[in-house]
Structure 1
Amino acid sequence: MTVSNGQNSANNNAMAQEFLVFRLGQEEYGIDILKVQEIRGCDRVTRIPNAHDFITGVTNLRGVIVPIVDLRLRFNLPEAKQDENTVVIVLNLNDRIVGIVVDGVVDVQSMDVDQIKPAPEVTSSLSSRYLLGIGVLDSRMVILVNIEKLLSREELELMDSMTEALAE
């Protein structure tokens, strides 16, 4: 009996996943740490005409033109002033480099599968499209985002054509 419990514990540890936890307003969100390339301060962004409102522009990251998405706008949250805590998380999404603006990074958190609860059923497109679930950590709850579903295929293609045009 003890051996079997130890094996279950080892299996649960093997299924743990690490998330980068960040803030948007008063809420904490988490994304798969393996998608994160780097965390940077908010640099100057060049606004692109006729881009979606949530695409705040592009920046040059060591010779690579990177589109920047403001997650507050993408999630239809109230716009906030950027301050010294505001950062850009640079992500590698299916061989595309994208930056996301967040209010601040909290920590890196490891979660076992039993700490991740299904997202509640609501009519918001956010939950059905972006959410992996809710991470429950003692008194904290972290909204886990499937960051690869953040942008539709069409939006990614639009950003690709935008960055290609700027690179020429």
Structure 2
Amino acid sequence: MGQELKVIVFALAHEEYGVEVDSVKTIERMLPMTRVPKTPAFVKGVINLRGVVTPVIDLRGRFGLPEADYTENTRVIIVSVGEIEVGLIVDSANDVIDVDSDTIEDPPEIVGGIKAKYLRGIAKVGDSRLLVLLNLHEVLNKSEIVQLEQIEG
């Protein structure tokens, strides 16, 4: 038996994704955002979260998925990668589950239109559930993190 990973499960375009609980600070409802000029389209703006200016990106836009209207289920998952905190807009955040690291397989080249470099792997949960685990370091790759840090500064 491998290590147990605690993973927050969220939905994006009818697929289930997971991100390790260790990387997640909080999960918020949609908050008013301030648009920031000269940023990629998927950077929706910044929010003031308890006095901290936090950039927010729409994961649908980041992955080239069709945009969707925000609903009462839409959530902003505040994640921390290194020194930077970023909000990720997802369709809904569902639950926290334990994933056995032995059940994680390398991702195929493309899953639901998302390139493998953004994915850490695919976890088998139970008999029929597959969970796509994100590689946050790639989702927020260095050149984009530099841009986001400039927003904060």
Q: Give TM-score, length-normalised by structure 2.
A: 0.93
Distance in 1 between residues matched to 2:27 and 2:33, nearest whole Å: 16
Distance in 2 between residues matched to 1:80 and 1:125, nearest whole Å: 17
Larger helix proportion, structure 1 or 2? 1
Partner of 1:153: 142
The one-letter code of the counterpart of 1:162 is: I
Q: Give TM-score, length-normalised by structure 1.
A: 0.85
Please say if residues 28 and 76 of structure 2, whose CA atoms lie closer than 8 Å, have aligned partners that are also in contact: yes
Partner of 2:128: 139
Segment of structure 1 superposing worse, 87-96 or 109-118: 109-118
The one-letter code of the counterpart of 1:73 is: G
Distance in 2 between residues matched to 1:83 and 1:148, nearest whole Å: 28
Runs of 5+ unmatched residues, structure 1: 1-11
State the shift of 1:125 in Å.
Answer: 6.8
For residues 78-124 of structure 1, give each alpha carbon's deviation from its aligned partner in whole angstroms, at most 9, with x where no partner exists: 10000000010011110211100000011111111222122113497
State the shift of 1:50 in Å.
Answer: 1.3
Counterparts of 1:105-144 in structure 2, within 5 Å, are 105-122=93-110, 126-127=115-116, 129-137=117-125, 138-144=127-133
Percent identical residues: 38
Larger strand proportion, structure 1 or 2? 2
Distance in 2 between residues matched to 1:59 and 1:52, nearest whole Å: 16
The one-letter code of the counterpart of 2:63 is: F
**Selected match of 2:72 from 84, 90, 114:** 84
Describe the shift of the 1:72–1:122 C-alpha distance in structure 2 as closer, same or farther (beyond 3 A). Answer: closer
RMSD (Å) for aligned C-alpha atoms? 1.5
Distance in 2 between residues matched to 1:120 and 1:161, nearest whole Å: 34
Q: Which has the larger radius of gyration?
A: 1
State the shift of 1:18 in Å.
Answer: 1.1
- Number of equivalences: 151
Counterparts of 1:20-99 in structure 2, within 5 Å, are 20-99=8-87
